[in-house]
A and B are shown apart, each in its own frame.
Chain A
């Protein structure tokens, strides 16, 4: 169980990111395939394959989401952003057919988060992408719920292996509800226990001492 007094800043709920959320910061670090639509003078050193002083127009680069979002403009083309494969039509057909068979960890692991962020870029397919994201979540919901509410006292790594980051968080909160109830049923909730945080610190201290 996690520490009961440390509450990390949660990720943003709507379209916007939460400024202080570590999860959102890591999500916006995901790399996207992009193409420059103008030259970037004096920044050639950022693009290793080019040995010129500038990044020329038409260079294909992988840029993190935060930078793509920052540079992207609808009116003046500075950058065009390509849609990652998982959100293109071919994969959308697979997701729509049976969302439960897909390994979203491998495809993501920020399948929903990155997908939602992709809608910031003007793309004629945006409505279909948004629809597929929603339907995939709905289609997988029952499985996420059942596995998180049934797995008691067992190794859950196989269950969460194919889940996207967001589903993993859901799985965790499902588990905390189940574990809380089960330990109440066994009469363990009235027992005072040592802080997990303190115990983890102690473990680390021992690990530090041992070579």
Chain B
């Protein structure tokens, strides 16, 4: 049947329900586009023949191919759109810099889209209040300004606002401003030690 390749793309995303981004499947995408081209050409021929030779019996087949064309289109756009939703989520989960293994799964256009989304978000956040507001911080109501954290893995040096530098070494514990470490906790580098 037609459109088997297109549904593969959809299934690929559906298997990763937690929002992970699988590698951009350029090969399958290309095959779907090829099938669409083929369907279009076939229909073009049949339509011409139906018109010039009055072959109305070709119409059911033309319709079937046409449905398949639209189905392929729907699967492809849904695939691309859902990927964008996942890419948008990455900005909130990882911050503005993505690890290489995640970037690796995006195509050039997606990387471009991500950096534009990043810019829009930054522009919006700068426009808030007097001198901007980071809306990716304090997603849950904060209980205290400082929190106790433990390093899950080595992260190197970390500069505080007052210029002091602390070393984030595995298993070391620190008492830090909450807003400074919220992102590192989300990235799994620090661990919030419950008081």
Give me the interface of A with B, judged by CB distance under 8 Å: 2-9, 19-23, 25-26, 29, 38-43, 46, 63-64, 66-67, 70-71, 78, 187-202, 204-205
Contact pick for A3, options B18, B68, B191, CB 8 Å: B18
Contact of A201 among B60, B68, B102, B191 (CB under 8 A): B102
Q: Say yes or no: B60 contacts A38, CB within 8 Å.
A: yes
A197:B89 contact, CB within 8 angstroms: yes
Q: Name the residue in B1, B17, B185 with the highest tally of chain A Cβ atoms < 10 Å from its Cβ.
A: B1
Distance, CA A58 to CA B83, complexed state (A): 42
**17 extra A-B contacts, CB within 8 A, seeds A190-B143, A194-B187, A195-B94:** A2-B18, A5-B89, A6-B86, A19-B74, A20-B77, A20-B82, A42-B46, A64-B3, A67-B67, A190-B194, A194-B186, A194-B188, A195-B186, A197-B89, A198-B94, A200-B18, A201-B99
Whether a CB of chain A sits under 8 angstroms from the CB of B35 is: no
Chain B residues 54 to 113 lying within 8 A of chain A, measured CB to CB, are: 57-58, 60-61, 63-64, 66-68, 70-71, 74-75, 77-78, 81-82, 85-86, 88-94, 99, 101-102
**CB-nearest residue of chain A relative to B149?**
A192
Q: What is the total of A-B residue contacts with beta carbons within 8 Å? A: 144
Q: Interface segment, B5-13, B125-133, B156-164, B167-175?
A: B5-13
Q: Are B7 and A46 in contact (CB under 8 A)?
A: no
Return 6 A-B CB contacts under 8 Å, by A number: A6-B85, A19-B74, A70-B66, A188-B194, A191-B192, A198-B94
Does any Cβ of A come within 8 Å of B147's Cβ?
Answer: yes
Tell me the smallest distance from the CB of B185 to a CB of chain A, in Å: 5
Asked whether, in the complex, the Cβ of B88 is within 8 Å of the Cβ of A5, the reply is yes
A39 proximity list for chain B (CB < 8 A): 57, 60
Closest residue of chain A to B99 (Cβ to Cβ) is: A201
CB pair B93–A5 under 8 Å, yes or no, is: yes
Given the known interface contacts A8-B85, A192-B147, A205-B101, the answer about A70 and B63 at a Cβ–Cβ threshold of 8 Å is: yes
Decide if B57 touches A25 in the complex (CB within 8 Å).
Answer: no
CA distance A9 to B70 in the complex (A): 19
Beyond A40-B64, A67-B64, A191-B194, is A2–B19 a contact (Cβ under 8 Å)? Answer: yes
Contacts of A196 in B (CB 8 A): 18
- B19 close to A22 (CB less than 8 A): no
- Given known A-B contacts A3-B93, A67-B68, A190-B143, A195 and B188 have beta carbons under 8 A apart: yes
Chain A residues, CB < 8 A from B194: 187-188, 190-191
Complex formed: what's the CA distance from A78 to B63 in Å? 10
> How distant is the Cα of A202 from the Cα of B152 in the complex, in angstroms?
13
| Residue numbers in A under 8 Å from B192 (CB-CB) | 191-193
Closest chain-B Cβ to A145's Cβ sits at a distance in Å of 22
How far apart sit A9 and B20, CA to CA, in the bound complex (Å)?
A: 15
